C-alpha cells in the first residue's frame, strides 16, 4: 500500500482510556455503598485467586488491559495473563489468565474485567470471520468510526487483534470528503466558491500541504480520501489522484468496473502513475464480503465489526 492510516497498537493512551472507563464503571457498579453482598458474605482480609476461562472459541483481545483494571480496583490485586491478545481460543479448555489477592476485591473487579475482555474479544472474533471470508484475495478489512462512545481506540485495537486494519481513528486523523461535504460545496452556503468532487479533492490536498495540522505521530496529514456514489464521480476525481476513493454502496459488478477504470486511468505507464486505492463500503456483511473482495478493491470498510459484534463468553472460576 502506498499510504495508510495510523494503525492502533496498545500504548499508554489506550491504558488511560481504560482508567477513565473503569473510573466510571466503579461509580456505576459500586456506588457510594460498595458491593454490599460481598461485604455481607466475605470477611475482610480473606485472599484467594480465580482463573479466567473462555467458554467459546474465538480470538482474545483486552487481556493487556486486565492489570490496569485490577490496579484501579485494588493495588493489592495481581493479574497474570496466560495468553497474548490475538491468540486463538478453542473453547472451554482455554485459560486466559489468573487474578489473585483480596477476595472482596476480586469479586469487585470480576464483572469489569469480564465485560471489557468479552466485548473486545467479540470484536476481534467477528473481524477474523470477515478476514477468513476474503482469504485468497488482495483486499483488507478496515474498521470505521461506528464505535461505542469513549471506546473507539479500544474497539479499533480489538480489530487489530483480529487481524483487521485501522481506518482513521478520528476526524483529526485524515481528510475524508463525504457526501455531506459535497452537498455543502454544491449549495448556496458555499458562498465563496461552489465546488465539484474534483475541486474538493484539490482543496483538500492543498490544505494538507499547507496546514500545520499533524496527526498523532506528528506527521503531516497523510491521507486524502473521497467518497463517491457513482462511476461518473469516480471518473471526475481520478485525475486529481486522491490517495483513496471510497466507493459507496456499489454492487460487485460496479466495483469491478471501478477497478478497471482506475487501472486504465494510469495509461500505458502504470509504474509511473500515482496509484489510487479503492475502498468498498456499504452493504458489507459476511454473505457479501467475498464477492466484494473479488472485485479487485484494495480495502473494504465494515462498520459491523465494531457496532454489531457479540461479546465473547468468558468467565472467572474461583
- Residue 188's pLDDT is 77
Q: What CATH code is carried by the domain that includes residue 157? A: 3.20.20.70
What distance in Å separates the CA atoms of residue 44 and residue 129, rounded to the nearest whole number?
45
- Residue 213's pLDDT is 63
Whether 124 and 143 share a structural domain: no
What distance in Å separates the CA atoms of residue 242 and residue 94, rounded to the nearest whole number?
46
Give the H/E segment covering residue 95. Answer: strand 95-102
Residue 214 per-residue DSSP state? B
- Residues 214-252 have pLDDT tens digits of 655 666 667 999 999 999 999 999 999 999 999 999 999
Is there a catalytic annotation at residue 299?
no
Is there a catalytic annotation at residue 111?
yes
Whether 148 and 97 share a structural domain: no
- Residue 79's pLDDT is 98
Q: Would residue 4 count as lying in a domain?
A: no
Active-site residue, from 111, 194, 214, 216: 111
Whether 126 and 144 share a structural domain: no
Whether 116 and 178 share a structural domain: no
Whether 143 and 113 share a structural domain: no
According to the 3-state scheme, what is the secondary structure of 85-131?
Answer: CCCEECCCCCEEEEEEEEHHHHHHHHHHHHHHHHHHHHHHHHHHHHH
Whether 105 and 162 share a structural domain: no
Q: Are strands 277-281 and 299-301 parallel, antiparallel or unpaired?
A: parallel
Active-site residue, from 227, 240, 243, 279: 227
Active-site residue, from 55, 248, 256, 313: 248
- Residues 271-302 have pLDDT tens digits of 667 789 999 999 999 999 999 999 999 999 99
Active-site residue, from 3, 20, 84, 178: 178
Q: Would residue 239 count as lying in a domain?
A: yes
Q: Would residue 2 count as lying in a domain?
A: no
Whether 36 and 83 share a structural domain: yes
Q: Would residue 201 count as lying in a domain?
A: yes
Whether 257 and 149 share a structural domain: yes
Q: Would residue 3 count as lying in a domain?
A: no
Is there a catalytic annotation at residue 287?
no
**Cβ atoms 82, 97 nearer than 8 A:** yes
Whether 41 and 71 share a structural domain: yes
Q: Would residue 91 count as lying in a domain?
A: yes
Whether 151 and 123 share a structural domain: no
Radius of gyration of the chain (CA): 23
**Cβ atoms 50, 316 nearer than 8 A:** yes
Whether 159 and 236 share a structural domain: yes
Q: What is the mean pLDDT of each run of 10 residues along the chain (318 residues)?
A: 85 97 96 96 97 96 98 97 97 91 97 98 98 98 97 98 97 92 83 86 88 63 90 96 97 98 81 84 97 98 98 96
Q: Residues 6 or more apart from 27 whose CB is under 8 A from it? A: none
Is there a catalytic annotation at residue 227?
yes
Domain count along the chain: 2
Whether 61 and 23 share a structural domain: yes
- Nearest CA to 85 among 58, 109, 106, 111? 58
Q: What CATH code is carried by the domain that includes residue 97? A: 3.90.1170.20
Active-site residue, from 19, 146, 241, 294: 146
Q: Would residue 168 count as lying in a domain?
A: yes
Q: Would residue 26 count as lying in a domain?
A: yes
Supply the range of the domain harboring residue 118.
12-130+310-317
Is there a catalytic annotation at residue 140?
no
Amino acid at each position: 500500500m502506498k499510504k495508510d492510516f495510523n494503525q492502533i497498537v496498545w500504548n499508554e493512551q489506550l491504558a488511560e482510556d481504560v482508567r477513565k472507563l473503569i473510573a466510571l464503571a466503579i461509580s456505576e457498579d459500586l456506588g457510594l455503598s460498595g458491593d454490599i453482598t460481598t461485604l455481607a458474605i466475605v470477611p475482610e482480609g480473606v485472599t484467594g485467586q480465580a482463573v479466567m476461562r473462555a467458554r467459546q472459541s474465538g480470538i482474545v483481545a483486552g487481556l493487556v488491559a486486565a492489570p490496569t483494571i485490577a490496579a484501579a480496583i485494588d493495588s493489592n490485586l495481581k493479574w497474570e495473563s496466560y495468553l497474548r491478545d490475538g491468540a486463538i481460543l478453542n473453547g472451554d479448555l482455554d485459560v486466559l489468565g489468573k487474578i489473585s489477592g483480596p477476595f472482596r476485591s476480586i469479586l469487585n473487579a470480576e464483572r469489569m474485567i469480564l465485560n471489557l475482555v468479552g466485548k473486545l474479544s467479540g470484536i476481534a472474533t467477528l473481524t477474523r470471520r470477515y478476514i477468513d471470508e476474503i482469504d485468497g484475495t488482495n483486499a483488507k478489512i478496515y474498521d470505521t468510526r461506528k464505535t461505542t462512545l469513549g471506546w473507539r481506540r479500544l474497539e479499533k485495537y480489538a480489530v487489530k487483534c483480529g487481524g483487521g486494519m485501522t481506518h482513521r481513528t478520528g476526524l483529526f486523523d485524515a481528510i475524508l470528503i463525504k457526501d455531506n461535504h459535497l452537498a455543502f460545496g454544491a449549495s448556496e452556503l458555499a458562498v465563496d466558491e461552489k465546488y465539484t468532487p474534483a475541486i474538493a479533492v484539490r482543496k483538500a490536498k492543498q490544505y494538507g500541504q499547507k496546514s500545520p495540522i499533524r496527526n498523532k505521530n506528528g506527521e503531516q496529514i497523510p491521507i486524502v480520501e473521497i467518497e463517491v456514489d457513482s462511476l461518473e464521480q469516480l471518473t471526475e476525481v481520478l485525475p486529481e489522484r486522491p490517495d483513496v476513493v471510497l466507493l459507496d454502496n456499489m454492487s460487485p459488478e460496479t466495483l469491478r468496473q471501478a477497478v478497471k477504470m482506475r487501472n486504465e486511468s494510469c495509461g500505458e505507464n502504470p509504474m509511473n502513475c500515482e496509484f489510487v486505492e479503492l475502498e468498498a463500503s456499504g452493504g458489507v456483511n459476511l454473505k457479501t464480503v467475498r464477492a466484494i473482495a473479488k472485485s479487485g478493491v484494495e480495502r473494504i470498510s465494515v462498520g459491523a465489526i465494531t457496532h454489531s459484534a457479540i461479546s465473547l463468553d468468558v468467565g472467572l472460576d474461583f
